Homo-oligomer: A and B are copies of this chain.
Amino acid sequence: IPKSFVIPTKVRDKHSMSMFVTTDQLSLPPKYSDDETSPREKTQVNSKGSSDFCVKNIKQAEFGRREIEIAEQDMSALISLRKRAQGEKPLAGAKVVGCTHITAQTAVLIETLVALGAQCRWTACNIYSTQNEVAAALAESGVSVFAWKGESEDDFWWCIDRCVNVEGWQANMILDDGGDLTHWVYKKYPSVFKKVRGIVEESVTGVHRLYQLSKAGKLCVPAMNVNDSVTKQKFDNLYCCRESILDGLKRTTDVMFGGKQVVVCGYGEVGKGCCSALKALGAIVCVTEIDPICALQACMDGFKVVKLNEVVRQMDMVITCTGNKNVVTREHLDRMKNGCIVCNMGHSNTEIDVASLRTPELTWERVRSQVDHVIWPDGKRVILLAEGRLLNLSCSTVPSFVLSITATTQALALIELYNAPEGRYKQDVYLLPKKMDEYVASLHLPNFDAHLTELSDEQAKYMGLNKNGPFKPNYYRYDRCSKTTHHDFDYVQYTHFYCNVV
């Protein structure tokens, strides 16, 4: 394993990890007990006689198939894309290697790609997140999948290699979540890498690595950053957090929200979602901000803007979502009142200085999974959730609807890159064209029985718009920009729009 490009597990980012927390990890007991033999040591054959896969137990395929079918019900946008596009098979000839969490929802994506004409080989981007029964169902249906729950680090790279390194089959598209697969191909199979038509990357981390490659002049393939699409960002941040802040707090602490005094650090999209939900349920919410524009928005939305040290003594809950580090310090923690709940909704685990609590005079008491009481010498307890890691990653689930948006975006990005005429995309990292973003949104509207109005010819002309969109300029972006995207700006250069599929 080439250590040089291994990303430490703890750096894996929120959006990437969000797929990891699936139903059964959180609240259900394991469905059956697996045997302990490593899958690498077993020989398994699916019902069609193929053994070009490596999963925990091919016999779980039927159970996994039911899980996939249930997921399909909540991913109607992807199914609808599958139906619309399968006649023309826009991915005919595409040979896709993929590296993502392997869950029922991903399986719906993979099987959509197959329905559109692609051949797929797949591996897991995380050693814990694979749903074994789903992997089995994929293997049974003919996808070459190499993944199981509880891989070792060595297993991890072995699986990636088995995806890429095949006699007589050469990948021409990469779908990645975190960048490990991309870098493996880049380093180990440079000749394959050069012939790849496009890379679709889902995670902040992976996008960051692609930009680094690009800056170093080594990115010889066009890549699509789907992490920063408007639709995905709004759902991952504003709408999803609006619900998961409540869910995460309830599942861990059973706290009543009504009348609670809460400070939310940071009023970007995540903070806006948290504040809106907590206020709606009767909490009294104030906000800290560094940015005067966000601070003014907080004021106008009815939240008092304060400094943390002014209010920390009165608070019942302290929630961070700044993207920054050491926002809650030991000094703040020392001043909190008994029973104060502290948690983080931001995308790294740096916001609360948890390390500062590992001192001899404080006692840690694990009262529940993901819930620690940190006890001061005078008996004061501070309730720390998920040890300062992202709360909704650790303590709530992600609705299939959100995963559907991500998966649909990935599928469209693959179609676009695979079908783009020569020259549309150069060897660079691209944001999702606005028209594709709008198309993803439109595929999800039927879930809400929403009826879109169409422009008349006269109206389109008056507005200077194409009747089919895009309706927003490419620079239209979500509200608060993450660290990484500050540097992205230079890459916004193209004016071509997505127009094949729609």
Contacts and interface: CB of A to CB of B under 8 A. Distances in A.
A476 B479 CA distance: 7
23 contacts: A73-B338, A74-B339, A85-B501, A231-B296, A238-B300, A239-B300, A242-B281, A243-B257, A256-B402, A292-B439, A293-B471, A296-B444, A298-B450, A305-B448, A305-B450, A324-B463, A327-B459, A436-B497, A439-B502, A468-B502, A474-B492, A475-B477, A476-B479
Interface string A249-283: 01100111111010000000000000001011111
Contacts of A325: 458-459, 462
A326 interface: yes
Interface of A: 23, 27-28, 70, 73-74, 81, 84-85, 90, 230-231, 234-235, 238-240, 242-243, 246-247, 250-251, 254-259, 261, 277, 279-284, 288-308, 310, 314, 323-327, 338-339, 350, 367-369, 381, 396-402, 412, 415-416, 419-420, 424-425, 430, 433-439, 441-442, 444-445, 447-456, 458-459, 462-464, 468-477, 479-481, 483, 485-489, 491-494, 496-502
B291 A438 contact: yes
Contacts of A456: 326
Contacts of A412: 498, 501
Given A251-B27, A259-B300, A475-B489, A324 B498 contact: no
A282 B401 CA distance: 14
Given A259-B300, A259-B447, A450-B295, A475 B488 contact: yes
Contact of A451 (B305, B324, B435, B474): B305
Nearest to A256: B399
B310 A451 contact: yes
B368 A28 contact: yes
B250 A433 contact: no
Tally of this chain's copies: 4
A339 B73 contact: yes
A458 B70 contact: no
Contacts of A247: 246-247, 250-251
A55 B406 CA distance: 53
Nearest to A468: B502
Contacts of A23: 254, 368
A452 B306 CA distance: 7
